[in-house]
Structure 1
Amino acid sequence: MISIDRFLSDEQDPKAVEKVIGKLNDLLTTGEEILYLAVQKKPAVNLMPDSIAITNKRIFYCEPGNLGLTMNFKDISWKNIKEVSFKEELFGSKFICVPQQGENIVTEFIPKVQARKLNQAANEQLEVYKDFLHQQKIEENWASASLINANIQHVADVNPEPIKVTEPIQIAEVVEEPEDETTLKLRKLKNLYDKHLITQDEYEAKKANILDSM
């Protein structure tokens, strides 16, 4: 049985706390713990106040029914909560829970001290949940990267590609042989004839002399 003493530090109604804790004790899951409990304090009649309990897994909204003979519980897990806040007013504070979907859940007449601690406890658990999601995302990314690397290695092991050796391109070297004297004389003679510096008869005669001297 959960002790109620630690939930009475901020002037919570002892009777309301005892009734809520007694009922919540049967609703908590394995590893779930109540971290803070706030109780309404209405300005006029406060016979059946609502309560809000913060656990490490969710927020419980506890509403008395049938003239206090029964208790209705609604809960919302941290993964379904976008943010929480509170607003101080003349008579206590409003505690506001903004879900990921749907309308805001507003509870009025929460004593100011309790509202501040309720808000603090809720935000701390939201941060814990966000850190958990962040760490989970990192682990998933690492797992995906490891799987991809393993698949790449497997493909490489199954279908190893042969190493291609590229042979150097052979470039033929062109070596010009020097002209012999006879060829040089004939080429010069032809050049003179092409420029019309000698006649055809002269060209033929000199050409015959050069060839005869070979």
Structure 2
Amino acid sequence: MISIDRFLSDEQDPKAVEKVIGKLNDLLTIGEEILYLAVQKKPAVNLLPDSIAITNKRIFYCEPGNLGLTMNFKDISLKNIKEVSFKEELFGSKFICVPQTGENIVTEFIPKTQARKSYQAANEQLEIYKETLHQQKIEENKVADAPVIEPIQSFADFAPIEAPSPEPEPIQIAEVVEEPEDEATLKLRKLKTLYDKHLITQEEYEAKKANILDSL
């Protein structure tokens, strides 16, 4: 249960605050909290005052019904609010909420201090909401303008390129030019052949070889 003590700092009607807080406690969403509560103070009879509750997500308008036996709640979220303001008059102030579309929501006979603090709380939350939207758009633009980075391909993504086989070098065949043998060489060759075939002795071979060489 929410403690009502901190909502009585500006002479709010304790009975009205207790009734409103008891009902609002079941309407708040996760992460939502009541920041300020203003209660109407009518100049004549103030038995069933309306209340305005400012949270960090919306503004609640609380109106008693059936002679105070029931409570009617209307709310407007921050995203649907264009601006808030208040206007001081002879009997209290008017708290004015200007929605993005539709007519202004006006609550009269709000004590001047409560109207001013309601305005401060609501306006502060509106500024926070607008700044959050602004930052979101900046981040979205950064993402949209970011260059597309192609994935880095590894060596495994590429098929191996085979180096062309070197062409075999042509085999150069040296042309053998046979020089004609002279007569002495022929005689020596024939003499050696006779000796190798053992047709002449070594003494004969040596003697004939000497004769041929002497004739040169």
Which residue of 2 is the match for residue 20 of structure 1? 20
1:30 is the counterpart of 2:30: yes
Match in the other structure for 1:90: 90
| Percent identical residues | 86
Tell whether 2:59 aligns with 1:39. no
Identify the structure with the greater helix proportion.
1
Residue 150 of structure 2 aligns to which amino acid in structure 1?
H
Unaligned runs of 5+ in 2: 154-216
Q: Which residue of 2 aligns with 1:154?
A: 150
Moved over 3 A (4+): 153-157
Superposition TM-score, scaled by structure 2 size? 0.69
Q: Which amino acid aligns with 1:106?
A: V
Q: Deviations over 1:145-176 (max 9, x none)?
A: 22xx11xx43998xxxxxxxxxxxxxxxxxxx
Provide Cα deviations, 1:9-64, integer angstroms capped at 9, x if missing partner.
Answer: 00000000000000000000000000000000000110000000000000000000
Displacement after TM superposition at 1:72 (Å): 0.4
2:81 maps to what in 1?
Answer: 81
Partner of 1:71: 71
1:117 maps to which residue? 117
**What is the TM-score when the length of structure 1 is the normalising length?**
0.70
Alignment root-mean-square deviation, CA: 1.4
CA–CA separation in structure 1 for the residues paired with 2:89 and 2:69: 30
How many residue pairs align between the two structures? 153
DSSP-derived class of the 2:19 partner: helix
User: Is 2:59 the counterpart of 1:59?
Assistant: yes
CA distance in 1, matches of 2:151, 2:30: 45
Looking at CA atoms only, which structure, 1 or 2, has the larger radius of gyration? 2
Letter in 2 for 1:129: Y
Change (3 A) 1:22 1:156: same
Matches for 1:195-214 after TM superposition, within 5 Å: none
Post-superposition CA distance 1:116-143 (Å, at most 9, x none):
0001101100100011011101110111
- Structure 1 CA distance for aligned equivalents of residues 143 and 120 of structure 2: 35
Which stretches in structure 1 are left out of the alignment for 5+ residues? 158-214
